């Protein structure tokens, strides 16, 4: 018996790469623009990285289902407002809700969020992680981008240059990642 999603008529939206790089007082979050459905590129220029919050001092990037990510962006914005822009506190409260709320628990996405002080990865398992070495990457091309960025930090000081080059490497290797990159700096 075949229990795959395809055999049940479910369509999986797949693929993206988001990277965050924090270096020398500058934090960059970058993401590709490809939205894939199976083996088909449905959209090449989606915007998966954006500024959020009342004063737009927080940058967030997502990997996963688009509708789920928008729901999480909205929830994080509310938490930022509730906790006076304290990103870590807002992220922890979002992660708690995401893990325990009956509706949110079914959302399929990962997020990298950052402000001038901190960069975090938030998961639906209740994790709020501050990446080691100031580099985090998520999505189908995340490991490629992460590896490239880690190799580049010995030779490059600028966070934006590291993020852009890492995204380029991921786009060259991962078929679910393209070179239509959105970059936000805080």
16 is catalytic: yes
Residue with token string 């954006």 = 50
Angstrom distance (rounded) from CA 119 to CA 115: 7
Which residues lie below 8 Å from residue 59, measured CB to CB, with a gap of 6+?
A: 27, 29, 49, 50, 51, 52, 113, 114, 115, 184, 185, 186
Measured over the CA atoms of residue 117, residue 129, residue 58 and residue 175, the dihedral's sign is positive
Catalytic residue among 16, 27, 177, 182: 16
Supply the residues annotated as catalytic. 16
């Amino acid at each position: 018996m075949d229990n795959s999603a395809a055999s049940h008529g479910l369509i999986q939206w797949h693929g993206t790469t988001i990277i965050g790089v924090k270096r020398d007082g500058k934090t960059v979050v970058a993401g590709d623009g490809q939205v894939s459905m199976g083996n088909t590129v449905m959209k090449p220029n989606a915007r998966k990285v954006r500024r959020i919050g009342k004063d737009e001092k927080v940058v967030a990037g997502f990997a996963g289902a688009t509708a789920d990510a928008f729901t999480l962006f909205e929830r994080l914005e509310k938490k930022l407002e509730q906790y006076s822009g304290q990103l870590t506190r807002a992220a922890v409260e979002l992660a708690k809700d995401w893990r325990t709320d009956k509706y949110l628990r079914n959302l399929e996405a990962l997020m990298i969020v950052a402000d001038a002080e901190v960069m975090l990865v938030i998961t639906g398992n209740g994790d709020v992680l501050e990446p080691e070495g100031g580099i985090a990457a998520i999505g189908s091309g995340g490991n490629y981008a992460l590896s490239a960025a880690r190799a580049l930090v010995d030779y490059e000081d600028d966070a934006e240059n590291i993020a852009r080059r890492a995204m380029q490497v991921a786009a060259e290797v991962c078929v679910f990642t393209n070179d239509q990159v959105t970059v936000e700096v805080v």
